[in-house]
Amino acid sequence: MSLQCAHCYKSFSIAKVTGSRGKGLSVEVQCPHCLAWLGHNKLLAIAKIVGFYGGVISAAIGYFVEGVGFITTPLIILAFIMVGISHVMDHLLLIEAPENDPNLAPTVK
């Protein structure tokens, strides 16, 4: 799987990541090219997890319980839409720029 840095816009492989910090949903990785720290949006990750498990639970209830198809079918559709939208919007975000970044230096006029 290839990731794209939100700072230098270069692609890199997960296998080339040497620096990481945090655990769970707050994990951050360091770009091997520009040494910027990158992470995911926690709210989108939570929405993706809730949508996935909500859809699975609704599908299981709809399959095993009679007469609830009119409730579970729209819930499955909404869960599928929620997972799709949160997956498309979930990109790497710049958490911390590198210290020696020339783009962040103040310019004097």
Structural contact between residues 97 and 104, judged by C-beta atoms closer than 8 angstroms: yes
Q: 58 CB contacts (<8 Å, ≥6 apart)?
A: 72, 75, 76, 79
Structural contact between residues 11 and 38, judged by C-beta atoms closer than 8 angstroms: no
The pLDDT, as a whole number, for residue 101 is: 63
The pLDDT, as a whole number, for residue 56 is: 97
Tell me: pLDDT of 21 over 80.
yes
Tokens of 84: 């799709």
- Where is pLDDT greater, at 82 or 13? 82
Tell me: pLDDT of 17 over 90.
no
Q: 92 CB contacts (<8 Å, ≥6 apart)?
A: 3, 4, 5, 6, 38, 39, 40
